[in-house]
Structure formats: structure tokens, C-alpha cells
Amino acid sequence: MEYFKDDLKWERKAEKPLRILVVGAGIGGLAVAIGLKQSGHDVVILEQVPHIAEVGAGIQMAPNAARILGRFGLLEKVMEKANVLEKNSLRRYANNEELGTAPLMPEIGQKYGAPLSVIHRGDLQAILLEAAKVEKIEMHLGSRVLEADPNFEARIKLQSGVWLEGDVIIAADGIKSDLRRQIANAHGIEDRSQPTGDAAYRILIPKEMLEHDPEALELLNTNAGMRWMGPDGHIMAYPIKNNKVYNMVLLHPQKAGAPNEESWTNRGDKKEMLDFYSSWNDLVKNLLTYVPEGDVMEWTLNTHRPLPAWIENKVALIGDACHPMLPYVAQGAANAIEDAGTLTMCFSVTSDVPLALEIYQHVRKTRGEAIQQSAATTRKALHLPDGPEQHKRDEAIRNSNQGGHNPDLWADTEWQQFMWGVDVMKETLENWDTYKGKVEGHHLTPLNATIYT
């Protein structure tokens, strides 16, 4: 496949097949289940909803995730559904002035050996679900997992009261993870989300709504991202579904009295949205008029403190269960897939469960939390009020195309290298003996595992 160049040489067959219970059938849960099943493990997925529906909107499929999906044999199907963006345009909110551009494809694909694209989350999940069926992965819907064994052995209790046993538990149960809360409590920590003060409207504008508007239609037909920055908010927009839908995510202050519940399915108010962006440029205001009534979804953005550990004994957290990410650097799904790739590699090299989970944590925790923190840093840069700091930011963006630092970290070449250039599967394999030496001197028992940095 074009731009996918893989020089990783590894033995896919597990040293010893294990029974692995995966809690959650989101992006991370499905990806890790597929990787582990392809390696020869017996995998069972437990998902609490009775039916998996298409939810969400556009998400980025960055090179750090694309190369892993390529190894799982899924990248070609992803690219059939994805849009390949050629650039990201960074703009002022009021007058639509372009401050700078971040080149994307084909340069990014050539540089990192894997493409960058955008795709509807529902399309990606459908591809992963179909792959899970092809791999004959056992999946149980309507099966909520309440808790793990008190000593974090590989046992979990369902809402029905039934206990299931395996060799490993992987908790991919999302931002409201019950198993995350249990691990936090084991460390004497109350796991609570903290509102950022921001919320996001997620809107999808179908092509038929734009057909008589040449300017809007040109946006839809151009494979470019648009990033408008303004006081207390910003907008990220790009085409998805092979240019049939225009995807917009609009960040704004959370309104007073709004619930802090984290959900992709809360309804927003179109009039409130139009009121907030009334001082923005005409192109933005025009686009928002095409949003169908009742189709505005509003998502409260919360943060979570990093956990002391992502693993306990034979239980591991992945994805939003351990590193829930704000959308400012578009790495939530990609980092969940990194978790999946790392665990797949660990359990291809060894059947020693505590060792595999320690090395998974060593590879992923510091990196995942750094990317998590970068989203908060980027948020501050994007939402500056008009004034001296905003002028300084805009000038830095203008100069970034000549090699300077870009305050929008998603567009900064140095930070891109960190986000997109690291191959976690390759690093795990090539540094296995080093990582093993670091973790083997520790007590591989619950609440006593610490990691060298």
C-alpha cells in the first residue's frame, strides 16, 4: 500500500496461548482483541451495550496508529473509507486570515512510513468489528463488567453476578471505566473527572445541504483541514466519508449550569452555538446555518489526573480508561491503538503475564501521559483572547513554516516527530531485554510495581 512501509520483523505466534478477557468493544478494545487473536491467543470481548451503534464524528488516523493497523491487515480497508488531508490551514477567527499551513500528505506519509487520514469513528469501529468477526473472536454484548478480583487476579464479575476467569484482563471500558476506578481506589485515590471549562459541538453537514453554495462546496471537496482560532474557542473542520460529509468540531466555554457528564450523545442548542460564533468570520457563520435542526451534539470536556499505575497484577487499563485525551492534538484513538499494538507485541514475546504488563506500562505510560498533557498546552494556545499574547502566537505560527516552533503542537514538526514518528511495537521488540532488566528487579505484585524512567 502507498506510504505504508514496514521494516519490523517479528514472530506473530504467541509463545504460549493465553485466555484474555477484554472489557469494552470501542476502538482500543477491538484493536487489542484483533492483535492478540492474530497472535494465537484465546480472546473474549465483553461489551456492556446490547447493540453497537455508529456514534461520534470525524477522528484522525495518525501515522503512529496507521502503521499498527497495517500490521493487523486493516489499513487498506481504513483508507477506503478515509479522507487523506493534504494540509491543515491555521486561521484567525474574525477575518479568516491564513496565518500558516501545516503540510500533511503526501509528505507525512513519506516521512513516517504510514499515512495520515481522517475517518468517521463509526466507520473505523465497523471495520474493526468486521475484523473481529473474521478472526472469530468471541464477543458478548449486554455484558457489563462491574469489578475485577480484589487482588487483581484475572477474574471479573458481570452485572449478572457471574464471575469469568482468564489469564489476563484488559480494561478498555472507556472514560467511565469501573476498573480504572477500582485501581485508583486500591491506591487510595478517588477517581474524579475535572471540568476544563470547555465543551465541544460536534456537527456533520451532509453534501446535499451544501450543493447550492459554491464556497462551502469547495471546502467539502478540498482535502484540507481548517483550524480557526479565537478567544475562548477554536474550530477544527475537514471532509469525511469520501467528501460526502463536512465534519466540524467547535470548542467553546461550557455554559453555566451545564452537566459535567462525559458523553458523545448529549444534544446541544443550535441558537446558542450561532450566538457564540456570531463574531467569527462569514465563512464560519455561513457553514453553521446549514446544520440541521436537532443535529447539534454537545460534549463536555473533562480532564482526569494521571493514575499511579495502569496495571495491577493481571489487570491492565488501555485507551480512555487510563489516558483520556482532550481533542486538541487528535490522538485519542491513535494512542488507544498504540496500547493495542504494545500489548500485542508483549504477549507475542512472553507468556509471563506480570512481566508483559510491566513492560507495556513502561513503554506506554510516560509517553501516553505526555501526549495527554500536550493537549492541555495546545488548548491554551488556541484559545487566547485578542491581545499581546495572541499577536505573539500568530507571529510564531507565521514563522513556523521557516523552521520555527509552532504553538499549535498538532502542527509543530518537533512534536509531530514525537507523536507520529515513534513506533511503539518496534521499540518494545528491539529494547525488550533492556526493559525486562529494568522491571525484573521490582516486586511484580499489586501496588508495589514502580517503573524506572
Beta strand pairing status for 117-120 and 58-61?
Answer: antiparallel
Q: What are phi and psi of 56, to 5 degrees?
A: 95, -160
Give dist(CA 374, CA 371) in Å, integer: 5
DSSP-derived letter for residue 178 is H
Helices and strands per DSSP (H, E), number in the chain:
15, 18
Beta strand pairing status for 163-165 and 98-103?
Answer: unpaired
Give dist(CA 337, CA 69) in Å, integer: 8
| Catalytic-role residue among 67, 202, 227, 367 | 202
Beta carbons of 144 and 179 less than 8 angstroms apart: no
Tell me which long-range contacts 280-283 makes (C-beta under 8 A, separation of at least 24). 280/93, 280/94, 280/228, 280/230, 280/235, 281/92, 281/93, 281/94, 281/95, 281/96, 281/228, 282/96, 283/96, 283/215, 283/216, 283/219
Phi-psi category of 294—alpha, beta or left, where left has phi over 0 and alpha has psi -120 to 50? left
Per the annotation, the verdict on 202 as an active-site residue is yes
Of 26, 24, 72, whose CA–CA distance to 170 is shortest? 24
Q: List active site positions.
A: 202
